[in-house]
């Protein structure tokens, strides 16, 4: 019972306090809330340890069992230990081995991985943007207008069109802006409101102990 009830009671008290502290600035409410937030930052640091520990366990097991791709696991664990060691025992500022590895290995690899998205977006656009029906056609037209209008060459080419380009030089920019500021914003606002209502509902369920999935398997029953 203690394993189940104590976490639920703690969640209720701390969660309710955080909500009340948002509206009540009195020091008897706000000061403890501030202290709770300091505790949160400390606990967050410990979750890094758990995360790294879990990573090492999973990949260590992969290496031990010589599963497919175990060589990459060796590199992963070696780099974790190397970067952590260099940062902990050395310095992290410019001119240090840690900084060199960050600047010349991690930074470039991370940027390259994200940049791959550009190629996949191009390929996905080719396959997805087909005018199969009215809705797909609308999506296609809007996408092409925004892609064209959001880059300098779009405005430049538009202004070369005879008469229209000279009499209405900002039409392409304005049309792109209208699509982003009205239909897009309306849709985004709807999504945000829906997500916020869902988050409020989930938070209420967790505070009241109805939702217990955050507890360990045995405590969540």
Catalog residues that contact other proteins under the rule CB under 8 A: 22, 30, 34, 37-38, 40-41, 44-45, 48, 92-94, 99, 102-103, 106-108, 110-111, 113-115, 118-119, 121-123, 125-127, 129-132, 140, 143-144, 147-148, 150-156, 170, 173, 177, 180-181, 184-185, 188-189, 192
Minimum Å gap between C-beta 79 and other proteins is 13
For other proteins, the closer CB: 19 or 63: 19
For other proteins, the closer CB: 1 or 122: 122
For other proteins, the closer CB: 106 or 210: 106
Minimum Å gap between C-beta 122 and other proteins is 5
For other proteins, the closer CB: 61 or 174: 174
Minimum Å gap between C-beta 140 and other proteins is 7
76 phi, psi to nearest 5 deg: -60, -50
Q: Tokens for 163?
A: 């008469």
Minimum Å gap between C-beta 123 and other proteins is 4
For other proteins, the closer CB: 144 or 210: 144
Q: Tokens for 96?
A: 């240090």
For other proteins, the closer CB: 103 or 166: 103
Q: Tokens for 95?
A: 């001119």
- The set of long-range contacts for 20-29, using a CB threshold of 8 Å and a minimum separation of 24, is none
Contacts of 8 (CB under 8 A, 6+ apart): 209, 212, 215
How far is Cα 180 from Cα 47, in angstroms, rounded to an integer?
39
* Alpha helices, DSSP H, located in the chain: 2-23, 27-64, 70-89, 97-101, 107-128, 134-149, 152-158, 164-167, 171-179, 185-207
Minimum Å gap between C-beta 202 and other proteins is 15
Where does residue 59 rank: exposed (0-12), middle (13-18), buried (19+ CB within 10 A)? buried
Minimum Å gap between C-beta 87 and other proteins is 10
How far is Cα 206 from Cα 199, in angstroms, rounded to an integer?
10
């Amino acid at each position: 019972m203690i394993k189940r009830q104590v976490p639920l009671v703690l969640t209720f008290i701390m969660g309710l306090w955080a909500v009340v502290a948002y509206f009540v600035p009195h020091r008897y409410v706000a000061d403890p809330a501030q202290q709770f937030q300091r505790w949160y930052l400390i606990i967050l640091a410990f979750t890094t340890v758990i995360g790294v520990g879990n990573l090492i366990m999973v990949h260590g097991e992969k290496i031990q069992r010589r599963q497919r791709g175990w060589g990459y696991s060796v590199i992963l664990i070696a780099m974790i230990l190397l970067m952590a060691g260099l940062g902990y025992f050395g310095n992290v500022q410019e001119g240090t081995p840690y900084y060199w590895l960050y600047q010349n290995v991690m930074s470039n690899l991370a940027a390259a991985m994200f940049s791959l998205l550009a190629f996949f977006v191009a390929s996905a656009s080719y396959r997805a943007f087909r005018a199969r029906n009215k809705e797909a056609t609308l999506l296609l037209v809007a996408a092409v207008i925004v892609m064209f209008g959001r880059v300098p060459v779009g405005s430049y080419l538009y202004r070369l069109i005879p008469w229209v380009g000279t009499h209405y030089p900002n039409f392409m920019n304005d049309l792109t802006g209208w699509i982003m500021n009205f239909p897009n914003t309306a849709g985004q606002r709807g999504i945000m409101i829906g997500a916020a209502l869902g988050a409020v509902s989930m938070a209420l369920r967790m505070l009241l102990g109805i939702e217990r999935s955050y507890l360990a398997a045995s405590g969540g029953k």
